[in-house]
Structure formats: C-alpha cells, structure tokens
Structure 1
C-alpha cells in the first residue's frame, strides 16, 4: 500500500517558540498575515504578544478575534470580510482547535469562494488556498499538523468534516508555555482528545507504518503525563510532553484517519454544544469496547504503549485491559456522562437517529475496525447516555 503523507513544511517546537513566529512568517516570504484568534486570547494579552512578534519582524498583521467555539459557517463571514479588507497573503490560527479550524477555512474560502458545504467530505480539497501558520494554545486538537478542519453548518447544525492538502498548515509553532494557564477541565478534555487521535489513527483501516510510529509514541507519552498535568497544571515538563504528543497524534491521524469515536462525537458537539474533547471522552471507552474484537492485536499494542498491559499479556487480554484503562482514565479525569452533563434525555433520544445518520455521513466510521450500522450507532448513543 502506498501512503500519501502530508505534513507542515516548517515545525518549531519548544518553550519560547512563539517568539520566533514573526521570523517563520517572514521566512516564508509573507508580509500581510491575518491573525485569527478569539476574545479570550485578546483578553489575556496573548494576541497582543503575538502581534508584537509579527511587527518586530517587519510584517503588517491584522487581528481578527471573532472566532467562536466550534466555528460555524455564520462565524466565518466577518473573518472573510477582514481577510479581504486587509488584502491578507496568509492566515495565522492562534488558539485552540476552533481558531485554527477557522483559519484553515478562511484560507480556502478567501481564494476559492463558495460555501463551506461545497468542501465537506468525502471531497478531498487540494487548493488553492492562502498559506496557514498554526500556533496552538491548547493540547489536543492537533490541528496545527493536520489537513482537516471541522465547521458547523449554521443552517443544519451539521458538523462538517472538511479535508485535504488545502487545509494543511505550511508551518506550525508549538510552544508549551502557551498552555500553562489551561484549567483542569480543559486539560483533561483536550488530553483525552489527543489520546483518541492516536488510538484511532493506529487502529484505523487506513493506518500505515508512518502513522503507526507517531501514534504509539503519542499514546505512551500521554499515558505517562496526562494525569500528572491534570493534577498540576503548572508542571511545565508534563505540559511540554503533552504538547508534543498532541502534535504527533495530529500528524498520525492526518496521515491515517480517525474512526468511529470522532464520527459519533461531532454530532454531539453540534446539537448539544459539548466541547469536542469532552464528547470524545464520553464515547471513547464504550466505542473501544464495541470495536476491540475486530482488531485485538492493534488494540493490544495501544494498551502496552499506554502502560495498561505488558508484553506477556496475550492479545485479547491486553486489548481488554485497554478498555478497562480507558474507563479508569475517564473516571480519574471526572468525565461526565451526557446525562450528568445536563443533556435532556428526551432531546437525546429524539436526535439519536439524526446523529447516527450524520456520524455515518462523515465517513469516519468506515475507517473503524468494526464498521457499524446506523442501528448499532444508535445503541452506542443510548449506552453512553447514562
């Protein structure tokens, strides 16, 4: 099998790397970036700090801080206006997954036009698009390293998976110092998100030798550091390890795929406004239990990398230990069920058939070791609710 690989051209990793952002952009021959971020990072002074590094490098940036959690097609309109008004030659995504996803979408729409729905999966988008430079401030999405963006259709509440080299950042600047202020809940949710990326990349039907190595390394690192950084957010060593693991997991799934957890997670986020990492965490143990019998060797490898099983455990036993370990991890990180999170049971039941349809429509479940039916997805939604 020939694997088609896509990676950022430039990656700067390490504490303090954000101070080199201006040099990275200038070195690419760009001069008029649109800095895409959110109101929170404006309020913390982070956006001002990044703008200053760009100005010191002789660039002419413009700030757009109108991104929203789980970006929508409506939220992109003001960004496009800012992009065209500035005559931007590049886009910098600064923030969590939402600003980075917004930046990717704006970079493509700013050149090609049309509606975001025109670019959703299964279409593979090759461009053209403006260059994107990604600067993550959370650990989890891996969007700085992926050829994927997720935008919610404001008219239908469908979370649209959009993919292809057009969305691949040309550069990523990965600085763990930007994550030191993350609260425990966000630390937990984004950490499980990164772990989900790595495990799904490894068990995916599209897995390959390149993505395998990145996935197993990320799983091992997350296994050693996630509880530690959840307990102490000021642990700079653990923060840096988790930041690198999230980027590796992003590279892994971008060059393999995600699977059933992500396919089922996106509709939960769209209809009930649950953060992406949290909805992944709600699903992760149950979906793994559903899938594990179809690829016990692959799941056993994940269990050993995570530290949940040893090399002496048989494949089936090791794979079962992974399911147990995920339940224990979600318990330790206080991951709520949808019911405990406050989601109305009647609304959950009413929307379950639509969510199952949207999950299948995204294409991600087709990469799962067990390709589910709509009825099986509905049963999984019912099982995880309480």
Structure 2
C-alpha cells in the first residue's frame, strides 16, 4: 500500500457570476468585517467595487487593500496586516492573480498572530488559527486558491515560501467572468503555468500519489484542450471556465505532490529580474521537459494520452516524444517572449542563478525526475538566453 497524505480545500464554488454572491459566502462564515486584498489592476477593472457592493449588500463592512504587486515583497504583506488589524477584520477576501491570493493568505493568518512574518518561512512554522478566508482567482494559472503555500519576496530579494495548513481557504470561488478581459499574454503565461503544475505533480519523485495523479491528468486534459481556444477567443466562457477548473485541479495536485525543476529555475528569474511567475515558468518549461525526457519517458507517454487524446502512438518512446514536442509547440505559439536577453536578464547572473537553484532550492530538484547539476542549470539558461 502506498502511504501518503492528501489535503484539500473544504469547499469549491464554480459559477459564472459568482462574484455577485460573495456576500452570502462570507455571511455563511460568520464574517462581518472583510478586508479585500487585491492589486491596483483589479480596482481599475471594477472587480473590487463589485465585490465591495456584494459584500455590503449582505451586511458586511469592507476595507480595501489594493497595493499588492507581482512577487509581493514582505513589506507589502506587513502593510496589509497592519491595515487589517486597524480595521479589526474578521474575514479576508483575496481577489486577483496568485500574488494577491498569496498575500491574502498571509494576512488572514497574521491578523491575530504575534509571530513575525519571517518566522513563517518554511514548512509548518505557523501557530494558531487564521481568520475567515475566501479566495477568488482572476487568472487560470497559479492554483493558489486551493493551496496552503504562499510565496513572497524577502528584503534580500529572495523568494520565500510559507507552507502551512492554515493557509488553506475556507472557500475557493471560481467565476470565469472575471477572466474574460485578460490580455492574451497573461492568459498564455498563466495557462502554461497551470500546465507546469500538472506535469510536475505527475512526474514528482517525492510525494506523487494516486489522488494527485488523477487530478494532474484531468487538469492537463482541460488545460491542453482549452488553452489555444482562449488564446484565439478570450470571450469563450465555457473554455475560460474549463481553464479555471484545470488550474484549480493542477493546484490541488502539485501542492500534494510537489513541483520540481521548472519552478526551481523560474524562481531566480522572478526574484532577481521581476519576470512574472507564469512567464518565468513558461521560459524554462520546454527545455526542462526536454532535459527530463530520458528519465521521465514512461510518465510523459502516459501524459500524452491526456494532452493528445486523438493521436495514436506506436510505442512509449514515440508517445513521450510527441508529448515533449506538443509542449514545445504550445510554448512557441503562446506569443510570449522566450529569450532571456530580450527580458533584460543579465547574462553575468547565470552562474549565481544556477547556484540559487541547486543549493538554495534543492528540495525542488529532489522532486525532479532527473538529477540536475549547476552545470545543467547553466546550460538550460544559456540555451534560452
């Protein structure tokens, strides 16, 4: 018997127009003073105002913290916590991309805690219980709405992850209408990010399990089938909903099975050069998957059946190669810039980034299907420079 532990969010609500009913969700949690955590773009799109109206219609008092930025710095999280405490919030709504959701999780955890944020970095370091927490993604990518992980940037410009079961929200709400206006590049980056979650969960060497496998393959099928559709027609509500559901399932898969080298190589690009997380994953996705082929042929062949369901394969090797080529084609056709040199990455930083990956984030390399040295990492970075 395979031994494993699987954690999941208590409630998931998937419904077009769900934002209009967010007040009832918080009423059901007994929360009356809600801090809305988002970024300035969510305010400009009008989503923050709609959420505030829905909350107030249900009898909630609302305050808005709208200063979240990509790869949120610890200082921003601390600022939001100070506002939440001053407001005496008993509920937190995270609305936006993964950065806003990650920040909202930490705010909900720290409102009533005396622990400094820095003491939370790592696994199971948090004490006590968070306040009521609801997460609503506006992108189909991070899966942050169903994970107990929050990734921020510390004062030394390093990515820090907090792993704690208290970060799991009470309710994850998927409203595809919130993703209809996404620019094509954001849709592409977040969609590829979600696919990375599914692939790395399925090929993980450390915590892979039958439940995460099932979620990963289902997620990959939804994402692979619908990504090109939403890139061609961003107003397709059914395809947008499928992308959100695929992203959520991929999130449930990877947080229980672990991510691996793609994420490891992406982190320094975000921390050092502020490349958005989804785009950073997309940059290294294809070359890392190609690098892993020698060790992951069987898993890639199995994934090919979900990504390419109508394609016949002669054998395992051809199926695995077709899978890798399909990923390379998706990345190429995404419309994203794929050269580090065009994204203002300093070539002189490559050796240090390789050290960051292998030494600083070695736990992710441990989950990768193929062992990876600093020289291997440097070669991958240079190959896309």
If the length of structure 2 is used for normalisation, what is the TM-score?
0.94
Paired residue for 1:269? Answer: 270
Q: Which moved more, 1:294-303 or 1:342-351?
A: 342-351
Instruction: Note if 1:298 corresponds to 2:299.
Output: yes
Instruction: Note if 1:35 corresponds to 2:20.
Output: no
Instruction: Note if 1:223 corresponds to 2:224.
Output: yes
Paired residue for 1:132? Answer: 133
Would the aligned equivalents of 2:141 and 2:247 in 1 still touch at CA under 8 Å?
yes
Paired residue for 1:169? Answer: 169
- Over the aligned positions, Cα root-mean-square deviation in angstroms equals 1.9
Q: Specify every segment of 5 or more residues in structure 2 that has no aligned partner in the other structure, as ranges.
A: none
- The C-alpha deviation readout for 1:365-386, integer Å capped at 9, x for no partner, is 211112323332233222232x
Paired residue for 1:147? Answer: 148
Paired residue for 1:238? Answer: 239
Mapping of 1:365-380 within 5 angstroms?
365-380=365-380
Q: Which moved more, 1:249-258 or 1:268-277?
A: 249-258
Would the aligned equivalents of 2:204 and 2:259 in 1 still touch at CA under 8 Å?
yes
- The C-alpha deviation readout for 1:207-255, integer Å capped at 9, x for no partner, is 1111111111111111111011111111222111111111111111122
Q: Distance in 1 between matches of 2:241 and 2:316?
A: 32
Q: Distance in 1 between matches of 2:148 and 2:111?
A: 17
Q: Distance in 1 between matches of 2:149 and 2:312?
A: 35
Would the aligned equivalents of 2:19 and 2:50 in 1 still touch at CA under 8 Å?
no
Aligned to 2:196, what secondary structure does the other structure show? helix
Shift, 1:188, TM fit: 0.3
Paired residue for 2:21? Answer: 20
Instruction: Note if 1:157 corresponds to 2:163.
Output: no
Mapping of 1:276-295 within 5 angstroms?
276-295=277-296
Mapping of 1:242-257 within 5 angstroms?
242-257=243-258
Paired residue for 1:75? Answer: 76
Would the aligned equivalents of 1:264 and 1:359 in 2 still touch at CA under 8 Å?
no
Aligned to 2:162, what secondary structure does the other structure show? strand
Q: Distance in 2 between matches of 1:118 and 1:296?
A: 40
Shift, 1:112, TM fit: 2.8
Would the aligned equivalents of 1:309 and 1:322 in 2 still touch at CA under 8 Å?
no
Paired residue for 1:44? Answer: 45
- The C-alpha deviation readout for 1:120-140, integer Å capped at 9, x for no partner, is 234564642223210111110
Instruction: Note if 1:88 corresponds to 2:84.
Output: no
- The C-alpha deviation readout for 1:118-176, integer Å capped at 9, x for no partner, is 222345646422232101111101111111110001x2111112212121111111100
Q: Which moved more, 1:31-40 or 1:95-104?
A: 31-40
Shift, 1:321, TM fit: 1.6
Change (3 A) 1:190 1:111: same
Would the aligned equivalents of 1:294 and 1:370 in 2 still touch at CA under 8 Å?
yes
Would the aligned equivalents of 1:308 and 1:325 in 2 still touch at CA under 8 Å?
no
Q: Distance in 2 between matches of 1:161 and 1:261?
A: 16
Q: Specify every segment of 5 or more residues in structure 1 that has no aligned partner in the other structure, as ranges.
A: none
Q: Distance in 2 between matches of 1:67 and 1:339?
A: 25
